[in-house]
Amino acid sequence: MEAFISRKRRKLAPEVAPSLKTTDEDGDGESTDFKLAILESLHPDWPRELLLDSLLACDGSVERVADALLLPTKIGATPKRPASNGFQSSLASYARPASSGTTAKSPPKKVLTQKGKTLHLFAPEDVEAHTPCSIFHNFLTQDVADALLRELLAEAPSFTKDTFQLFDRTVESPHSMRFYVDSLDEAQEQKTKYVYNGSYIADVAQTTPEMLKVSDLVRAAVNEEIRHRIRRFYPNGQKLKFQSPEEWQPNASFVNSYDGPKESVGYHSDQLTYLGPRAVIGSLSLGVAREFRVRRIVPNVDASSADSQGQIAIHLPHNSLLVMHAEMQEEWKHSVAPAQAIDPHPVAGNKRLNVTYRCYKEYLHPKYTPRCKCDVPAVLRCVQKRAATRGRYMWMCHSGYTPGQTGCSYFEWAAFDDDGRPPWAEGYKGNANIAALGGDAP
């Protein structure tokens, strides 16, 4: 278990990967600490003493404790979930949420991670239980995955590294990318109207045929997964406040290329300006397997609260679809860390290609959204750190969040209804983005 919960994970060949249903009955001779770690990961909110007592009462059998604690959750049919990639058994087989279809279970409040540690997750059941994501392994048929990979490899030479100004230095992003939209008209709109970090994107391409074909498959899988997440994990089985109830319809994508183990992307949250609050993103990985890391944003309650939790690494093999759910961008940050070493892919060599399918909302076109005093469409942000206003949305001048850029002081709390619609959108039901405590700027 230690191998599972810490960075020092043993490398397990598929044929020797142990089942995590490890008990003395299986003759594994694991230590009490190992067993407690498994139980703590299944029941993060239960005191360690209680789990230890239960373990003693069950003669040291993790499986019997898990069975005893989870009896009610075994009632009802377990929905069909994507299969694991077979190289690590899942903890979640012990910890399925209620499966009645009406009883939702909130994700664990206390995460498994500790400061400075990385929890490595491989199995889809563990990913959905412990992070705001879900993952489908072997998402596309081999032919389709191959065709898309070859198409993207042919596109990759046209990708560029983003540069941005950080005070007096020009910094280059540590991987290359290109932005795609579904029509030439849309590409033209993007180049001339949509602002990202204070400027327009010069190179916007048209979605390629294979990307478009796959977009349809991603759309169907993501919509089903959103429904699953709402039913099984959100309070009262209801969508989150500000989450759009509309069908998720991918119409734009950032395609990323990581050439070699050192290419990466640092911790960030994706911009919500054109996606709206509680956005969902479908992220397809092809080529070299890399680690996708996520960490929860800890509010500034006091000085000691910063960085008090560790991170979770999700293994992203070739042909996997990761769904970043509605709780992701506001409450978590994500990154692709540089790797010590990689296994070359037979077709992609040292490259990983990644398509992040996104759903741009027509009502968030910059012709509708507020403009700052510099007369530039404003950026939509969510308060992430400041405890008093955490979770509130605001429109700001881009410069406010772009170090080194001069701009204006424009700031305005954003109005959104419960479904994430702004006041100018059809069907707007009234502002739900109101102060819980105080109304001052973040």
Ligand X SMILES: O=C(O)CCC(=O)C(=O)O
Q: Does 270 bind ligand X (CB under 6 A)?
A: yes
Helix 48-57 to helix 62-70 angle, to the nearest 10 degrees? Answer: 110
Helix 62-70 to helix 32-42 angle, to the nearest 10 degrees? Answer: 20
Closest to ligand X by CB, 214 or 265:
265
The one among 354, 389, 399, 433 contacting ligand X by CB under 6 A: 354
Give CA–CA dist 236/168, Å, rounded: 50
Q: End-to-end CA distance of the chain, in Å?
A: 41
Question: What does 256 bind: Fe ion, ligand X, none (CB cut-off 5 to 8 Å by kind)?
Answer: ligand X
**What is the smallest separation between the CB atom of 241 and ligand X, expressed in angstroms?**
24
Closest to Fe ion by CB, 34 or 254:
254
Closest-CA residue to 124 (of 111, 114, 134): 134
Find out whether 79 and 96 touch, Cβ atoms under 8 Å.
Answer: no
What is the signed CA dihedral for 349, 180, 274, 198, rounded to 10 degrees?
Answer: 90
The one among 26, 146, 182, 270 contacting Fe ion by CB under 5 A: 270
Closest to ligand X by CB, 40 or 327:
327
**What is the smallest separation between the CB atom of 292 and ligand X, expressed in angstroms?**
5
Give CA–CA dist 347/398, Å, rounded: 40
Question: What does 38 bind: Fe ion, ligand X, none (CB cut-off 5 to 8 Å by kind)?
Answer: none
Task: Classify burial at 228, counting beta carbons within 10 Å of its beta carbon; exposed 0-12, middle 13-18, buried 19 or more.
Answer: middle
Which residue intervals of 162-205 are DSSP H helices?
184-192
Number of residues that bind ligand X (CB under 6 A): 10
Closest to ligand X by CB, 232 or 325:
325
Token couple for 328: 């992701």
Q: Which residues on adjacent β-strands are paired with residue 177?
A: 160, 256
Which residue intervals of 247-300 are DSSP H helices?
none
Number of residues that bind Fe ion (CB under 5 A): 1
CA dist list (Å): 211 to 34, 130, 255, 362, 434: 44, 30, 10, 21, 40
- Residue 51 CA to its chain's centroid (Å): 30
The one among 139, 292, 360, 416 contacting ligand X by CB under 6 A: 292
Binding mask 7-36 for ligand X (x = CB under 6 A): ------------------------------
Q: Does 356 bind ligand X (CB under 6 A)?
A: yes
**What is the smallest separation between the CB atom of 23 and Fe ion, expressed in angstroms?**
40
The answer for residues whose C-beta is within 8 angstroms of residue 55's C-beta and 6 or more apart is 32, 35, 36, 39, 61, 62, 65
Rg (CA), the chain: 23
Q: Does 256 bind ligand X (CB under 6 A)?
A: yes
Which residue intervals of 193-315 are DSSP H helices?
209-233
Q: Does 265 bind ligand X (CB under 6 A)?
A: yes
The one among 231, 278, 295, 334 contacting ligand X by CB under 6 A: 334
Query: Of all residues in this chain, which one has the CB nearest to Fe ion in the complex?
Result: 270
Candidates 62-70, 140-148, 269-277, 335-343: pick the segment binding Fe ion (CB under 5 A).
Answer: 269-277
Candidates 72-80, 220-228, 266-274, 399-407: pick the segment binding Fe ion (CB under 5 A).
Answer: 266-274
Which residue intervals of 234-321 are DSSP H helices?
none
Question: What does 354 bind: Fe ion, ligand X, none (CB cut-off 5 to 8 Å by kind)?
Answer: ligand X
Closest to Fe ion by CB, 132 or 422:
132
**What is the smallest separation between the CB atom of 177 and ligand X, expressed in angstroms?**
7
Q: Does 320 bind ligand X (CB under 6 A)?
A: no
- Residue 78 CA to its chain's centroid (Å): 24
The one among 129, 230, 336, 378 contacting ligand X by CB under 6 A: 336
Closest to Fe ion by CB, 240 or 324:
324
The answer for residues whose C-beta is within 8 angstroms of residue 257's C-beta and 6 or more apart is 152, 156, 159, 175, 176, 177, 263, 351, 352, 353, 354
Question: What does 292 bind: Fe ion, ligand X, none (CB cut-off 5 to 8 Å by kind)?
Answer: ligand X
**What is the smallest separation between the CB atom of 437 and ligand X, expressed in angstroms?**
31
Query: Of all residues in this chain, which one has the CB nearest to ligand X in the complex?
Result: 354
DSSP type of residue 92: G
Question: What does 283 bind: Fe ion, ligand X, none (CB cut-off 5 to 8 Å by kind)?
Answer: ligand X
Question: What does 273 bind: Fe ion, ligand X, none (CB cut-off 5 to 8 Å by kind)?
Answer: none
**What is the smallest separation between the CB atom of 403 and ligand X, expressed in angstroms?**
19
Question: What does 360 bind: ligand X, Fe ion, none (CB cut-off 5 to 8 Å by kind)?
Answer: none
Q: Does 190 bind ligand X (CB under 6 A)?
A: no
Interacting residues toward Fe ion by CB under 5 A: 270
Catalog residues that contact ligand X under the rule CB under 6 A.
254, 256, 265, 270, 283, 292, 334, 336, 354, 356
